[in-house]
Structure 1
């Protein structure tokens, strides 16, 4: 394990590593152990807010879009801290009422991401949040869905980045600045 930003080594130490989950050869980074520590969770939200403030010159976004499911936790706390609204990016079939969706490719098959069709409008300033960025497929689909509704998504925040899987770079290539607190190399 290599930590990208030394000031966050205290948080990285609280993330449990589970080998061979959900299948052999995968190293799962379990953020639930960090979330169980109230002080560490608060520090995580504060550091995410600080990273966003540095990137945006202190100008908060209108909405924080969280990706189901752990992204909801971080997005909600961050939105509260910033005084922004929370937009839920849900998996197929979980939203009541009219929604818009996007289908995207996975390693073996496809999945779908949805949001309410009135969740954001043209010109809305939205920051995307999730617990972890790996290959970036879900995050890129979320950006495409939001921008398809006219929103401006210029920033994405993650607690964990797995840089060797390339997701953060794929988001950068799509014009979205990526901020992560912790990077785990080699997994």
Structure 2
């Protein structure tokens, strides 16, 4: 990795805070809010994601962001790339006809949905979120893309919690993470 990329990674690593016992006892929460508060760190995240996309994917039609923190990074990246951004939301949050899928989370069950006309068959998409833990949310998004007959090129996250093996659940889709714990 180039020296410039390394300095960007160090910058964003310095802006991730830890909160013990949140949202429940025994969980160490990795907080990205300081990244969002610091323009240089937010730019660094967007730069690193942009570099990855341009290096690894010949053509991307859409960035697909997970509710809710994927909405923070996805539109910035999509704008940089000159492509559209699509929302994957919790059930009941999108108007009009939707497609949905149920999935398991670290702390329970959930249902994700996308507007029926958000992604066309054959479109090439990259999924984005802030954190990969067990992979439930990104797996659900991959299932939504499969239902829409879109091609998932890969998944990108700011933070990956490696011990929870979320990448295993997402195979065959690759995962690019900026910071791993």
TM-score by length of 2: 0.93
Deviation of the 1:107 alpha carbon? 4.4
Deviation of the 1:6 alpha carbon? 5.4
1:43-92: CA deviations, max 9, x gaps? 11011110111211xx3411000001110111100000101101100001
1:6-49: CA deviations, max 9, x gaps? 55122111111111101111000110111100011011101111
CA distance in 1, matches of 2:107, 2:29: 18
Matches within 5 A, 1:126-145: 126-145=125-144
Matches within 5 A, 1:16-35: 16-35=17-36
Moved over 4 A (4+): none
* Corresponding residue number in structure 2 for 1:62: 61
Match of 2:44, SS state, is helix
The structure showing larger relative contact order (alpha-carbon pairs under 8 Å, at least 6 residues apart) is 1
CA distance in 2, matches of 1:32, 1:71: 13
CA distance in 2, matches of 1:107, 1:79: 28
Q: 1:48 to 1:108 in 2, by over 3 A?
A: closer
The answer on whether the counterparts of 1:60 and 1:82 sit within 8 Å (CA) in structure 2 is no
Matches within 5 A, 1:148-163: 148-163=147-162
Q: How many residues align?
A: 176
* Corresponding residue number in structure 2 for 1:38: 39
Deviation of the 1:139 alpha carbon? 0.4
Give unpaired runs (5+ residues) of structure 1: none
Matches within 5 A, 1:104-183: 104-107=103-106, 109-171=108-170, 173=171, 175-183=172-180
Give unpaired runs (5+ residues) of structure 2: none
CA RMSD of aligned residues (A): 1.4
CA distance in 2, matches of 1:6, 1:77: 21
TM-score by length of 1: 0.90
